[in-house]
Amino acid sequence: MTISSPQHHVIEFNLSLCGLLCYCRSGYEANMAQEIEAICALHQIFGFAKVLPHTGFVYFAFYSPENIQRVNEAVRFDELMFARQMIGVFAHIPNLNRNDRLTQIHEACDTHLSKEFMAQTAVVESADTEDGKELAKFCRKFSVPFRQHLRSHQWLVQRKTKQALVGMTLHAFFEHGSCIHLGVSLPGNRSVHENGIYRLKFPSDAPSRSTLKLEEAIQTFIPKAEQQHYFNGDVSAVDLGACPGGWTYQLVSRGVQVEAIDNGAMDDKLMATGLVDYFAADGFKYQPQYGKVNWLVCDMIEQPDRVAQLMTQWLVKGWAQHAIFNLKLPMKQRFVAMNEAKTNIISQLKAAGINFSWQAKHLYHNRDEVTVCILRND
Ligand SMILES: C[S@@+](CC[C@H](N)C(=O)[O-])C[C@H]1O[C@@H](n2cnc3c(N)ncnc32)[C@H](O)[C@@H]1O
């Protein structure tokens, strides 16, 4: 069983980190803190999480400085369910002079970054919260002088890139106008999106906004180069809780033949594609009508342990090869509940001798649910 395939970036410089900063959905700080504390404890990286409700981030301060290489190997972004982004912090400036922010930023970089350090991109970020809109505007403006300054002091390559985050990236994260965390993220161990937010355009002909959840899940969990292999005209799927058809829309637009299960009404345009067979049935009782399918997807809003059990059953019976599904988060003890569901699913799949990879994320387009992707490796 693999969690996902870790690519450990080779680090050719020394950098001491004072903590880890994880961005998450506002309201999920306590869950994020539990998760980062658990992972760090497992790898004997000791510290404590500073949690402020509804701030959209958690700072895990190390008791003593940790080498970036060790942290990069121990704490893997893909293993964190609640993290939208993760950066290794090398300096925290809580009292930035609002009239001259660059001087203190310069001093911190000068103190902490070695001569070999050269970032490929640099971003100025803030938390995604209701009150954070003004700060986000400021961050966009500030990114221009920030990057110019970094370039002129050879902390950032001269060449500009289209993507926000490429190679090693320097992050300036503003808690507010005069409080900043400076850190780095490494390729293969972070989100490639600014602020960890995967913005997607809603396709005008899709039947529901839920479509963006499956789109984000596919883009997040399946490398671009492999998407054609997993979704094409020879592939079949079952969509449980399909109506009005946002998830089916994503499958159909990739040429996949879909059995759509729900008691509700399916979008007419989708039905007209000829790629959808609709069955008004209970998703918990349905069995694939035309033999095994490649994919099981499920967006039924139901008790997470019931859905987890159903997904496991399909995979163990071999009715579906791979699965993407949502687990609804309970009001309380969300981290504990998700961990239990994960442990149950993984232990049953292992006991059945299935070789698979597990990925799970609280995606940007999710609300109170975590999306899980299980890919069979054989
Ligand atoms: C969040 S909606 C799904 C939205 C859909 N994924 C989309 O993108 O349009 C949940 C759906 O699950 C269906 N559902 C809930 N329990 C079900 C069950 N036991 N069997 C079949 N469908 C069920 C509901 O009727 C509802 O249409």
- Evaluate if pTM is beyond 0.85: yes
Per DSSP, 103 falls in state H
Same domain, 289 and 349: yes
CATH, residue 45:
3.30.2130.30
CATH, residue 284:
3.40.50.150
Cα–ligand 1 centroid distance for 264 (angstroms)? 8
Closest CA to 218 of 209, 207, 229, 208: 229
Instruction: Give the mutation target among 200, 239, 267, 300 for probing the ligand 1 site: most ligand atoms within 8 A of CB.
Output: 300
Q: What's CA 225's distance to the chain center, in Å? A: 19
d(CA 195, CA 227): 25
Name the catalytic one among 328, 342, 350, 361. 328
How many structural domains compose the chain?
A: 2
Query: Tokens at residue 271, please?
Result: 């039905």
What's the pLDDT at 183?
98
Q: At which of 142, 170, 196 does a domain end? A: 196
Which domain does 272 fall in, by range? Answer: 211-376
Same domain, 179 and 233: no
Query: Helix (H, G, I), strand (E, B), or coil: what is residue 251?
Result: helix
Same domain, 30 and 129: yes
378 HSE (CA, 13 A, CB side): 6
Judge whether 289 lies within some domain.
yes
Q: Average pLDDT across each block of 10 residues of the chain; the chain has 378 residues. List them in order.
A: 53 88 97 97 97 96 97 97 98 96 98 94 95 93 97 95 94 96 97 96 97 98 97 98 98 98 97 98 97 98 95 98 96 92 97 98 97 96
At 192, give phi and psi (nearest 5°): -85, 5
What's the pLDDT at 8?
61
Query: Helix (H, G, I), strand (E, B), or coil: what is residue 338?
Result: helix
User: Scanning the structure block, which residue is given the tokens 């005008």?
Assistant: 204
Residue at 41: amino acid letter: A
Q: Is 286 in the pocket of ligand 1 (CB under 6 A)?
A: no
